[in-house]
Amino acid sequence: MLLAIDIGNTQTVIGIYEGSLLRHMWRIASTKTDTSDELRLKVMPLLSSEGVGPEDVTGAVLASVVPSLGSAWRRALARILGFEPVICNAEAAGELFETTYANPSEIGADRVADAVAARELYGAPVVVVDFGTATNLEVIDAEGRFIGGIIAPGLETSAAALFAHATKLPAIELVDPGAAIGRSTVHAMQSGIVYGEADRVDGFVTRVFAELGYEAPVVATGGLAAVMGPLCRTVTAVNPELTLEGLRLVHEGGARAKGGK
């Protein structure tokens, strides 16, 4: 079994693969002060709840946009499993990740994993919209190369800023309000935040298509993909597990390159 972990600024997604099949998945809060010992105490009960022991895990791969947590997770996994996890980045992805970036090392691990999975599953060209703490767009051109993208404040980040600076406005659930014209304060806020994000993404994608000179499939992923994907006119597929799938492919590609399984 393969243990794949995607560490984001808000949530950490943990997946267990058996071959190419995602058997189990959990989302936990990314607590930036967690030590490796605390992470061990979090992950061990999750594994055991599904009857998975450390001896069942034969590989591990890790992506992190939080350096301190990435280091803590690496130490925790080495202690639990007895071997070091593969750390996802442009170099580790090898031939699976072609890019025109002058400095590929600056590309976030989650962006690398998204691009690898999107090209494998949906072909090229393809655009990924990752709805997380940031809303990221990853652009893979017709030649299968990651050529860049867009990084913008995420839905929850924008909402939190509004709540913090407009003290009379309540915190709300980020769901489809069903109509653009708000008939209450909560409804009006949901319309502005949720529909505003959907239209912003559609605007980004339209600009991307204009610069490419052609259109492409658009895949939504991330924690809010199930909410936002159906609201975006340009999104053609929703795949919340895309980043984990990319991590699996990066690990699998590295194993093949080393002559492993």
Residues labelled as active-site residues: 110
Rounded to 10 deg, the angle between the 67-81 and 36-49 helix axes is 60
Q: Is 195 exposed, middle or buried (0-12, 13-18, 19+ CB in 10 A)?
A: middle
- Residues 6 or more apart whose CB falls under 8 angstroms from that of 254 comprise 86, 92, 94
Instruction: Compute the distance between CA of residue 125 and CA of residue 140 in angstroms, rounded to an integer.
Output: 5
Please list, residue by residue across 84-104, b when 16 or more beta carbons sit within 10 angstroms of its beta carbon and e when fewer do.
Answer: ebbbbbbebbeebbbbeeeeb
Instruction: Compute the distance between CA of residue 181 and CA of residue 155 in angstroms, rounded to an integer.
Output: 19
